[in-house]
Structure 1
């Protein structure tokens, strides 16, 4: 294996730096039409992306509002059902108590009639 001396290493480093600079100089400047086209295209893509994000946010907010409305309606229905059930239970309790009282009065009247 051949050992490179210091001058050869410096020469290789210098040629590599020059190659990088040549590559950098070949890049088009900011006033180049191709660069401005790409910039305009990126701006259009960014604007379209922003529109899509705004649409998704609007849809998400509408869905949340719809979900909240459905939950409120469901809660109102459930409260109404519970209220109806409580009223029916109250009416049933009153009717049952009246039946018990009528049965007790009938037993009392039958005992009185036997005496």
Structure 2
């Protein structure tokens, strides 16, 4: 050391070199395999895979339900279209000709009205 207050450049460079070497050795050191950690990781992986499988099956069920709902909607639309076509066809059919009274029936109705009026006037 150069002095008690300020280390020399060489001292600082050596100190930095030593610190760098210690950090590299610490980084390169491999820890011993921990069986508890490996078991915990395996359990976590299995739980994640189970959750993923459940999520996929729920998604498939939702897709199938949506498909069934669309098919039901199509069936209802087809039934409604058939009913509308049937009503339109019924509206296009010609009406039966009106039943007109014969001349004798008209005379009888007129005579009945005349007689009713006369009976009210006498009455």
What is the CA RMSD across the aligned residues, in angstroms?
A: 2.9
Deviation of the 1:21 alpha carbon: 5.0
**Equivalent residue, structure 1, for 2:12:** 9
Please state which structure has a larger fraction of its residues in helix: 1
Q: What is the CA–CA distance in structure 1 between the aligned matches of 2:11 and 2:69, rounded to whole Å? A: 80
Deviation of the 1:68 alpha carbon: 0.3
**Equivalent residue, structure 1, for 2:44:** 45
**Equivalent residue, structure 1, for 2:63:** 64
**Equivalent residue, structure 2, for 1:55:** 54
Tell me which structure has the larger Cα radius of gyration: 2
Deviation of the 1:19 alpha carbon: 3.4
Report the TM-score when normalising by structure 2: 0.64
**Equivalent residue, structure 2, for 1:110:** none
- Could you give the per-residue CA deviations for residues 74-113 of structure 1, whole angstroms, max 9, x where no partner exists? 111111111011101211221xx225xx25x96xxxxxxx
**Equivalent residue, structure 1, for 2:80:** 81
Q: What is the CA–CA distance in structure 1 between the aligned matches of 2:42 and 2:71, rounded to whole Å? A: 43
5+ long unaligned stretches in structure 2: 101-123
What SS class does the counterpart of residue 28 from structure 1 fall into?
Answer: coil
Query: Number of residues paired by the alignment?
Result: 98
Deviation of the 1:70 alpha carbon: 0.8
Deviation of the 1:72 alpha carbon: 0.4
